[in-house]
Amino acid sequence: MSTTQIGVAVIGAGMAGKAHAAGYRTAPTLYDSILPPVRLVSIADAYEPLAQSTAKRFGFERYDTSWQAIAQADDIDVVSVVVANSLHREIVEALLAAGKHVLCEKPLSDSIDDARSMVAAADAATTVARIGLTYRRSPGIAHIRDLVQSGRLGRVLNVSGSYWTDYGCNPESPISWRYKGPNGSGALADVGSHLTYLAEFVAGSEFASVRGGSLSTVIPTRPKPLGAVVGHEGGAVSDEREAVENDDVAAFTGEFAGGGTATLQVSRVAAGHPNSLSFEIFGEKGSAAFDFRHPGEFQLFLTEQGDAGYRTVTLGPSHPYWRGGLAMDAPGVGIGQNDGFVFQARAFLEEVAGIAEADSLPRNAGFDEGLHNMLLIDAVAQSAAAGGASVTIPQTVPVAS
């Protein structure tokens, strides 16, 4: 275990960048105080006012306006990359070459070739490279996975899930990088990447193939912005419009390698659903359901108990991440998406510091899992282009660790 001070930076000061910054700020307060000193060094963003305000808000020492400044800084060891998908490869590979530890937001990139190159760079690096699959850190979701792994729910038969968002519901909201790129890089890559890895996570098995892929663009054009577009925020727009190049709505059915199926749907134009992720997993011995609008609980039905239907389980210290982690680790105090970024940051910092992995705080996913997620999304796009035909997902070679 290293006792050397860890210098932290975040590249990208938008919505998710702020979540990473807040995660690093709070991470040392989780669990026992075994981390070496964590120094919040810099927030970088090409939009200077945002970089400056985010650095001040979260207590970082300075701000920068280029990722190159972060790569070149001698006082920075750990970097979160939270920018447009198309920028990931250049930045991540440069950071790894400079000897930085990297936590990259999902999806890994915007192209399979770039993702494969990033996996190779991570494999060759002497530092830690991980991808942020944040929803795995939700205590309710992690516990449902444990129920499957222990055999309590029996053999998995089916997973049904949806992720509805409405950030693109207004046809007058400005065009941004999220609306550019081929079909499959829209709602499917943005929120569907979360839902797909969660389906595999709770089922305990990767998808082997997909079928019935469907991608729809229902708002064909959007106005150009007059200023910077931050996260899902709106802003002033011009009279000139640009074409939307990718999907607003996506759906598919998948076959798990270990048996069973999943039917998943995602949308960025679901009015009234700012952030509604939910799923049910059905096994031979019972079922479980989770809705992120109520993240402090989940629903459980076990045939062995002769239940007439689902019962509500309130999350607490007997569930993952909870005991000794949260400031108030009592049942019913509530937990949300922001907490997932804190657990993620803590696990990453512990790995960087060489602290032994604990069952209560497993490591973050490697780049190989990020590549698999992209291959899965690409298979759905291929299925949609082929009229819903079945598409086998290529196997990936795990990154050496």
pLDDT in tens, 156-191: 999 999 999 999 999 999 998 899 988 889 999 999
The answer to whether residue 290 scores a pLDDT higher than 50 is: yes
Question: Which tokens is 112 given?
Answer: 């399979």
Range of the domain at 191: 139-335+364-383
Element (H, E) at 379: helix 367-385
- Count up the domains in the chain and report the number: 2
- Taking the whole predicted model, whether its pTM rises above 0.95 is answered as no
Between 73 and 229, whose confidence is greater? 73
Indicate the range of 58-72, 259-273, 304-318, 348-362 predicted with least confidence. Answer: 304-318
**Residue 314 belongs to some domain of the structure:** yes
Asked whether residue 143 is assigned to any structural domain, the reply reads yes
Answer yes or no: are the C-beta atoms of 123 and 93 closer than 8 Å. Answer: no
Q: What is the Cα–Cα distance from 22 to 10, expressed in whole angstroms?
A: 10
What is the amino acid identity at position 207? Answer: F
Quote the pLDDT of residue 306.
77
Structure confidence at residue 252 (pLDDT)? 98
Kindly tell me if the per-residue pLDDT of 98 is higher than 60: yes
What is the rounded average pLDDT of the residues 351-378?
A: 94
Task: Tell me which of 135, 166, 185 is where a domain ends.
Answer: 135
Q: State the residue for tokens 């930045």.
A: 91
Q: What is the mean pLDDT of the chain?
A: 93
**177 and 124 in a common domain:** no
pLDDT of residue 358: 87
CA max distance for the chain: 62
Q: Please report the pLDDT score of residue 399 as a whole number.
A: 35
Q: How many CA atoms lie within 13 A of 323 on its CB side?
A: 6
Query: Are both 156 and 131 inside the same structural domain?
Result: no
pLDDT > 90? residue 2: no
**SS3 at position 131:** strand
Considering the domain architecture, whether residues 24 and 125 belong to the same structural domain is answered as yes
Residue 122: how many other CB atoms lie within 10 Å: 27
Residue 325 main-chain phi, psi, to 5 deg: -95, -65
The phi and psi torsions of 250 (rounded to 5 degrees) equal: -145, 150
Please give the DSSP secondary-structure letter assigned to residue 189. H
Whether residue 246 contacts residue 181, with contact meaning beta carbons closer than 8 Å, is answered with: yes
pLDDT at 401 over 50: no
C-alpha distance from residue 67 to each of 26, 64, 348, 391 (Å): 24, 8, 20, 38
24 and 97 assigned to the same domain: yes
Task: List, for residues 124-164, the tens digit of each pLDDT value.
Answer: 999 999 999 999 999 999 999 999 999 999 999 999 999 99
Q: 183 and 130 in one domain?
A: no
**Sorting pLDDT into bands at 50, 70 and 90, what band is 226?**
confident
* Minimum mean pLDDT range among 42-56, 217-231, 264-278: 217-231
Whether 306 is covered by a domain: the verdict is: yes
pLDDT at 233 over 80: no
CATH number, domain containing residue 242: 3.30.360.10
Q: What is the CATH number of the domain that holds 33?
A: 3.40.50.720
Domain shared by 122 and 162, yes or no: no
Alpha helices per DSSP H over 205-319: none
- 102/11 Cα distance (integer angstroms): 11
